[in-house]
């Protein structure tokens, strides 16, 4: 077992009950203090500044200071999964009630352990490349039924290929950043010609994304048994979508401007190491995938996913309860497939899962599915209805894994929608 995963560990830092960030989590993120960006971890309602901590010498001699005095975690995670496991174990030890090196050093403690509310939380990753998969069978079936043909909802390639497309890295934004309603070409089925205007069908997509910490040279591939060495951890990912723009533009090359105006992520990258106690088997894959996609072990995760809709008119309403374990294609298969033609994976790439829908209506991960393209609106407490997302609405996504011993969470992604110009 990884030492930092020991469910018996307790920290001298107070951790509220049901916090997403107990001592067993220790995700990586970036904070801004005194105009400087530092890599940090989170425990309870505090952040631990790793640049200040490393300068003190308490992390030992293994880590060069510059990886922590950085605007992003990229250089830090590029040290590799082994070093990141070592770092997490060392931080865990310093925060453990049974160890006093940091706890008893009041001056250092006051400089590196800061209330989360007192610092600016920043974008954790410099995203080089972003790919979005389409790995939930339930979601692909729902969309295929609505957009194409209920009889052949799942296209013939779907159970053979982890389908995906190249998205846009530059418009990935942090939780808390508002998103302006995009404009685009809209054409209803019976309209003679398209018009240009604000989307009337703005939607969220409930996804998780993984961040890579290792690269492969262009022209080489990644063996599925080694794929996990490339995956540092995960964030919550809201892949904003404009359904009316999408349905007019997506043939023949797939998603474009309906998807690339914004995607929102959570601030703390939770390591696959910390999520290890929550590994579960995924759905049975039938037909058997081609040999390069055959894996051993369990690579799905029992992570509960929630979406809340908040508005100035009512308190947040939970509208989705799904789970990461529903994904048909797992992350190792996605990454191996991505590099199977020799495409080079880079450190800091982001690979989103695709909307994660479950088998029942309450687990559908988009408004498109929840309201069946607007035909069955959701009723809100103030008497209003939602077919899609309205101006001033706020979408909050949460994700956490929980068993009897420990809760490893991701915090949240909160995004308010502002009117189009």
Active-site residue numbers? 139
How many angstroms separate the Cα of 189 from the Cα of each of 133, 296, 318? 27, 46, 32
Nearest residue (CB) to Ca ion, 205 versus 393: 205
Q: Does 75 bind Ca ion (CB under 5 A)?
A: no
User: Residues 376-415: x/- map of binding to Ca ion (CB under 5 A)?
Assistant: ----------------------------------------
Nearest residue (CB) to Ca ion, 241 versus 414: 241
Of the listed pieces 44-52, 118-126, 234-242, 294-302, which binds Ca ion according to CB under 5 A? 234-242
Distance CA 80, CA 84 (A): 6
Q: Cα 79–301–24 angle (5° rounding)?
A: 60
Q: What does the buried/exposed string (b/e) look like for 108-123 if buried means 16 or more CB atoms within 10 Å of the residue's CB?
A: bbeebbbebeebebbb
DSSP H or E stretch at residue 368? helix 367-370
User: Which of 20, 203, 239, 412 is in the footprint of Ca ion by CB under 5 A?
Assistant: 239
Q: Cα 383–389–391 angle (5° rounding)?
A: 90
CB of 354 to Ca ion, least distance (A): 5
Nearest to 303 by CA among 174, 210, 419, 189: 210
How many angstroms separate the Cα of 74 from the Cα of each of 26, 114, 164, 176, 263? 17, 23, 24, 22, 19
Of the listed pieces 16-24, 62-70, 181-189, 199-207, which binds Ca ion according to CB under 5 A? 199-207
CA 312 remoteness from chain centre: 26
Of the listed pieces 54-62, 132-140, 389-397, 405-413, which binds Ca ion according to CB under 5 A? 132-140
Q: Which position's Cβ is nearest Ca ion?
A: 239
User: Which of 20, 138, 205, 369 is in the footprint of Ca ion by CB under 5 A?
Assistant: 205
Q: Are 210 and 234 in contact (CB under 8 A)?
A: yes
Q: Are 410 and 399 in contact (CB under 8 A)?
A: yes
Nearest residue (CB) to Ca ion, 205 versus 412: 205
Q: What does the buried/exposed string (b/e) look like for 339-370 if buried means 16 or more CB atoms within 10 Å of the residue's CB?
A: bbeebebebbbbbbbbbbbbeeeebbbbbbbb
Of the listed pieces 129-137, 209-217, 308-316, 387-395, which binds Ca ion according to CB under 5 A? 129-137
Of the listed pieces 168-176, 185-193, 204-212, 368-376, which binds Ca ion according to CB under 5 A? 204-212
Nearest residue (CB) to Ca ion, 68 versus 328: 328
CB of 261 to Ca ion, least distance (A): 13
CB of 154 to Ca ion, least distance (A): 17
User: Which of 49, 75, 96, 132 is in the footprint of Ca ion by CB under 5 A?
Assistant: 132
Nearest residue (CB) to Ca ion, 22 versus 354: 354
In this structure, what DSSP letter does residue 221 have?
A: -
Nearest residue (CB) to Ca ion, 4 versus 143: 143
Residues that bind Ca ion (CB under 5 A): 132, 205, 239
């Amino acid at each position: 077992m990884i030492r930092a995963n020991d469910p018996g560990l307790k920290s001298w830092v107070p951790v509220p009950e049901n916090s997403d960030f107990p001592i067993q989590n220790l995700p990586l993120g970036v904070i801004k203090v005194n105009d400087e960006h530092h890599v940090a971890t989170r425990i309870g309602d505090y952040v631990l500044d790793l640049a200040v901590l490393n300068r003190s010498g308490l992390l030992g001699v293994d880590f060069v200071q510059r990886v922590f005095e950085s605007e992003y975690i990229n250089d830090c995670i590029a040290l590799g999964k082994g070093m990141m496991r070592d770092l997490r174990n060392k931080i865990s030890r310093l925060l453990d009630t049974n160890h006093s090196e940091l706890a008893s050093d009041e001056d250092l403690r006051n400089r590196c352990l800061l209330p989360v509310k007192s610092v600016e939380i920043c974008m954790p990753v410099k995203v080089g490349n972003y790919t979005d998969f389409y790995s939930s069978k339930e979601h692909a079936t729902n969309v295929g039924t609505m957009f194409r043909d209920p009889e052949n909802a799942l296209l013939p390639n779907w159970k053979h290929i982890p389908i995906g497309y190249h998205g846009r890295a530059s418009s990935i934004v942090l939780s808390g950043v508002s998103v302006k309603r995009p404009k685009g070409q809209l054409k209803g089925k019976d309209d003679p010609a398209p018009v240009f205007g604000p989307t009337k069908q703005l939607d969220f997509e409930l996804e998780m994304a993984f961040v890579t910490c290792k690269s492969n040279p262009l022209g080489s591939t990644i063996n599925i048994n080694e794929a996990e060495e490339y995956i540092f951890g995960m964030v919550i990912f809201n892949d904003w979508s404009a359904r009316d723009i999408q349905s007019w533009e997506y043939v023949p090359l797939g998603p474009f401007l309906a998807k690339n105006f914004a995607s929102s992520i959570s601030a703390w990258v939770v390591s696959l190491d910390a999520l290890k106690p929550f590994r579960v088997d995924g759905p049975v894959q039938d037909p058997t995938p081609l040999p390069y996609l055959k894996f051993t072990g369990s690579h799905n995760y029992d992570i509960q996913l929630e979406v809340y809709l908040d508005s100035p008119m009512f308190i947040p309403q939970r509208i989705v309860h799904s789970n990461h374990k529903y994904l048909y294609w797992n992350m190792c298969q996605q990454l191996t497939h991505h590099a199977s033609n020799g495409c080079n994976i880079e450190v800091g790439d982001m690979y989103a899962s695709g909307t994660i829908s479950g088998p029942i209506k309450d687990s559908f991960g988009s408004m498109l599915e929840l309201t069946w393209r607007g035909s069955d609106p959701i009723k809100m407490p103030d008497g209003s209805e939602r077919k899609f997302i309205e101006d001033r609405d706020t979408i909050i996504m949460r994700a956490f894994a929980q068993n009897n011993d420990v809760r490893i969470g991701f915090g949240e992604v909160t995004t308010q929608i502002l009117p189009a110009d």
